[in-house]
Structure 1
Amino acid sequence: MIDTEFKLKRYMKDCERFESLYSNRTSLGLTVFDGNVVPSVQGTTTDIAKLKSIFTLTETKLKQLQKEKEELHLKLSESESNRMREEKRFIEDKNCLKNEFLDEQIKYTEHLAQCKPLIVVEKKVVSQVDEVTVKTVQDTLNNLTNDYHRVKNLITRISSTIKTETEETTRKIQKAISEVDSRNKELVHRYTNEVQLRKLYHNQLVELRGNIRVYCRVRPPIKEDEEVDSVVSFDTYDDGIINITSKGKTQQFHFDKVFPMDASQSQVFDEVRSLVRSAIDGFHVCIFAYGQTGSGKTYTMEGTVSDPGVNQRALSYLFEEAQNTVWQYEIEASMLEIYNETIRDLLDADCEDKNKLEIKMKPEGGLYVPGLIATSVKSLDEVNEIFETGRRNRATAKTMMNERSSRSHCLLLLSIVGVNTITGNKTFGRLNLVDLAGSERTSKTQVEGTRLQEAKHINKSLSCLGDVINALKNKHSHVPYRNSKLTYFLQESLDGDSKTLMILQISPVEKNVSESIFTLNFGQRGMSAELGAATKKMEDGKGTPSSARRPNCETPKSPGTSLTPSNRTPNFPKTVSVPSKLSVRYK
């Protein structure tokens, strides 16, 4: 609105100037012609038209401004009227509120006049109560302060006493712990000595009685078992104890040696080394691995190229020990498998096409296999070639329990003839290394057809081996060696004139716990079987057979075929040289 008034005033001034100009047109040299202003002197038609247009526009604007002015005056009048009405209403409301306030003030004054006596009485009562309360609170505060200081002093004394008692008790506990620790170390030392002494006596007893030595090895978890808890635990101080815990029940088993899951191939062979030494000295030695399929038997006996097992390490040790300036040794090796109750020569490339081999009894006593190839070996390289040939020819297959399951019993037979170059004395040793096929439940392995037939023969032969062990343990008059080819062939290793080692292989997981317990029970029965002391096979320089037995030991009477030491001079099978085409070896 202010802006509009300003415009109006400005146009009014313009109009006044124009009127003044119009009035003084003559003095300015302008002349009115037909109602138009024209220059009196030197005026042009164009200038007159422009001035006329300006005048017309100015008049139009003036009229518009006049109209706006009237509208503004009208609005101003309305606003003034509204302001006056609002001011009147405000005055009325103010007077009303003033009257109400005065009324309330009068009422409050009257009420205050009525309550004043009561207030005086209340103030008096409160004053009296406050005096009593303050005094009571002050007394209570003083008492609490005194109690606080007494408790604080008491706590200080108690803390000091507790600290003293704690230090004294700590010293006593540390002293007791030290004494218990020393006592524990002494007991552990004594216990360890007792364990070693017990093992020494046990080994001597094994030598005297001819018991089967039994080791147990637990394979580490394989890929499919990595997230499964182990059911196997070991004794910290006695390496001959193994515990199996399943469904809240723990069973303990005792053996000559227990190898935990992290035991290396080298550690296993360290415990076998003495038996290999016995074979070099002229004893008959048999080492075989027993356990369910997939428990690690073949790995323990054969191993891998980078980490060989008992077979390879035994031969390496044998050749190392054979490097003697006094004794010279001739070593012959044979390798066969018992597959579906059939003997096959693994060193014969055409073994499947030839007549099957049979076990025969020699007239002078002793078992042999006519036609079985015996290869003379003079170095570890030649032995490696034999291993590779036998491995290629051995029957294996894939089952649900094992990627490469052995479908036969594999036997590596070594004959060791030693000659003393000074005296002419001879020793005749044998080392039989046996990798048994694994016992298996057909429901787990899910085999059928040929594989099922193989499994039946494997389980039957292992069952016959169990019958032989039970008969030996219970000292039966008849031992059923001939119930299977396997037990018949192992007769000389089990009838009392051989040092025999059984290596049990078990799995550490729950799903195989029943087979593991069966294997461990089988091993304990084997430990209880007394075979009689082994004899050393030797001849003097004149060719007279003799035998060496530990002192104070009687010659055992075997329940099977009775063979005296004198008629056990080895009759080795035919000898052939190593084929030149065999070149694969362990590194």
Structure 2
Amino acid sequence: MPAARGGRWGRLPERRARQLQRQMQAKEERIAELETENAVLHLRLAQRLRLAGTAGTRWREGLPQRTRSLLRLQQAAQRLRQDLRELRAASADLLGSCRDQQQDSLSRILAAVQSAQHHGALPSWRARALRLEQSLQELSARFHRERQRRRRLHNRLVELQGNIRVHCRIRPAMPAAAEPPDPVSHSSSASGDVAHAVDDETVLVRCSRPGHHAVHKTFHFERVYGPAEGQAAVFADVCPLLTSLLDGYNVCIMAYGQTGSGKTHTMLGPRPPGAAQADTGLIPRAAEELFRLLSEDPSERPRVEVSVVEVYNNDIFDLLAEDGCAERPGLRREVLTTREGRKAVSPLTCLPVGSAGELMELVGAGLRLRARRATSVHADSSRSHLVVTVTLTAAASRDGTPEPRSSPSPPQAPSCPSPSPPATGRRPRAPRRASSGSPGAPPESPARPAGQVRARLQLVDLAGSECAAASGARGPALREASFINRSLAALADVLGALAARRDHVPYRNSKLTHLLQDALGGDAKLLVIVCVSPHRQHVAETLQSLGFGARARQVERQGGRGRPAPRGPR
């Protein structure tokens, strides 16, 4: 037993020795690893030292630049801090203001709530609002019925006065220096007056010259304006026609007479513009009144478009078209018949306007391009017929109420007409900036969206008839006078055919009558203002103009009796 115990304890040191040996071997392996890691670290340290030396050299070399950059950054930081302080101050002020407004709003809300609680509960207010809404609907229906009645009564009044009305305006006698010399009479202009306004409806022409038959003729018109009556008196008789325009009827107002009888002054006012408001012509007054009437009914917002054309030497020129062909004086247009059977110029530039000022700006742009020439009778004689057309377009929605004004379509460049020689005596078309609008389709183009209704106001300043011997016209001026007289003669022929109720009316004998066919023979309300000179030397032209007005009075049209152009409720 002792021997066995001695053997076990004898082997114990050996096991301990082997264990210690294994531990020592592991420690040696760990020491070898640490030595290897130490060598690697020394190698990396040496590399880092070398890199640090290179970086230090570079840092010392770039120190001035970094210093400057640092100064700039410090200055920028100071500015930012200053801006931040100002922003904080402004934010504090704004916050204080918002808090004050919030307190004020809360006070008002509390006062309103207390007032509502004092007068009754919320359901009572709702019931009252419902009753007011029903009353408003009843009043709206009644207003619509009264408006329709007013339209019918107004149209009956206009028809009783005549769908074609002829007024006469006698120009004031000009100073002796402004009148061409009278080869027969050397009397003053006052004593040479032969045309007199007997009353509001009668013109008397009385003249007795050596070698001529004595003239004593009386003409009757719906209205006669004496030399002392101003532009306001003339426009007072135009206002009812603008009401008919808003009711859906087409309206045409034209000035007829010899050169120098006051047509352009009646339609546009004095030239150059800028005179007293009392001398403003019919076109600017009509523009102001039209937009005033439109502003009275904000529920309907029709789109207002303007076109300006002239008939020069029996050719139609679009005065608002962007002229892409600089070598020609303008863009010629033609009169076409639409699907509805109406006459329209195509393609025509129709520009949308939103005020009377914009409308007159476009008219002024067209007037600057109108053909003019000085003659012995007039220093600034118009050599073309000017037609300004104002078109109202309103889109009706599905429930029958008008839709708001649509935005204008994108601009489209008008096509350049086929080459043709320039017209003699016309001013070259200067390039103009594009207006706020686009060249539109013809006034009655079927390309318009369905549901739109339209009415047109045509303002026509006719060129003056003249005698070549009196005006001294030669060359191009004589050719212009020939075309003017022929177109006015064609206009007289059309009125004569309408008065005689002939089956054939020669509208196509002139571009002027073809262009105005709807106004002359359609359902438009037509007002002709015959302008005459009171002077003795113009007695022949005065008689001719008054005779034209007398023939126009005889025309009776049946197409427009009580039936306006279809349109939605206003």
TM-score normalised to the size of structure 1? 0.55
The answer to whether 1:377 aligns with 2:350 is: no
| Structure number with higher helix proportion | 1
Deviations 1:391-443 (Å, cap 9, x if unpaired)?
10000110011111000000001101246798415652110000000001000
**2: distance between equivalents of 1:289 and 1:468?**
17
**2: distance between equivalents of 1:249 and 1:460?**
26
Q: CA offset at residue 286 of structure 1?
A: 0.5
Deviations 1:3-41 (Å, cap 9, x if unpaired)?
xxxxxxxxxxxxxxxxxxxxxxxxxxxxxxxxxxxxxxx
Deviations 1:100-128 (Å, cap 9, x if unpaired)?
xxxxxxxxxxxxxxxxxxxxxxxxxxxxx
SS in 2 for 1:424: coil
Aligned match for 2:189, one of 227, 234, 242: 227
Aligned match for 2:534, one of 492, 499, 508: 508
Aligned match for 1:522, one of 522, 543, 548: 548
Contact 2:318 2:331 in 1 (8 A): no
Q: CA offset at residue 209 of structure 1?
A: 9.5
Which residue does 1:461 correspond to in 2? Answer: 487
Q: CA offset at residue 343 of structure 1?
A: 0.8
Contact 1:214 1:502 in 2 (8 A): yes
The answer to whether 1:214 aligns with 2:166 is: yes
Contact 2:386 2:462 in 1 (8 A): yes
The aligned amino acid for 2:292 is E
The answer to whether 1:318 aligns with 2:290 is: yes
Q: 1:93-492 maps to which residues of 2 (within 5 A)? A: 207=159, 211-224=163-176, 225=179, 227-229=189-191, 230-235=193-198, 238-247=199-208, 249-304=215-270, 305=273, 306=275, 307-323=279-295, 324-348=297-321, 350=323, 352-353=328-329, 355-418=331-394, 423-424=400-401, 427-492=453-518
**2: distance between equivalents of 1:373 and 1:397?**
26
The aligned amino acid for 2:482 is K
Percent of matched pairs sharing the same residue: 39
**2: distance between equivalents of 1:419 and 1:361?**
23
**1: distance between equivalents of 2:480 and 2:486?**
10
Gap regions ≥5 residues in structure 1:
1-200, 542-547, 549-587
Q: CA offset at residue 227 of structure 1?
A: 3.4
Q: CA offset at residue 497 of structure 1?
A: 1.0
**2: distance between equivalents of 1:249 and 1:441?**
20
Which residue does 2:46 correspond to in 1? Answer: none
Residues matched between the structures, number = 340
The aligned amino acid for 1:256 is E
Contact 2:170 2:227 in 1 (8 A): yes
CA distance 1:205–1:466, shift in 2 (3 Å): farther
Q: CA offset at residue 228 of structure 1?
A: 4.1
SS in 2 for 1:536: coil
CA distance 1:354–1:393, shift in 2 (3 Å): closer
**1: distance between equivalents of 2:322 and 2:301?**
31
Deviations 1:163-219 (Å, cap 9, x if unpaired)?
xxxxxxxxxxxxxxxxxxxxxxxxxxxxxxxxxxxxxx9x95871695420000011
**1: distance between equivalents of 2:292 and 2:252?**
20
Q: CA offset at residue 223 of structure 1?
A: 2.1
Deviations 1:507-537 (Å, cap 9, x if unpaired)?
0011001110111111011000112252311
Q: CA offset at residue 540 of structure 1?
A: 4.4
Deviations 1:533-568 (Å, cap 9, x if unpaired)?
523112448xxxxxx9xxxxxxxxxxxxxxxxxxxx
Gap regions ≥5 residues in structure 2:
1-152, 180-187, 209-213, 403-451
Give the structure, 1 or 2, with the largest relative contact order (CA under 8 Å, sep 6 or more). Answer: 2
Which residue does 2:125 correspond to in 1? Answer: none
SS in 2 for 1:233: strand
Q: CA offset at residue 310 of structure 1?
A: 0.7
**2: distance between equivalents of 1:318 and 1:246?**
42
The aligned amino acid for 1:219 is R
TM-score normalised to the size of structure 2? 0.57
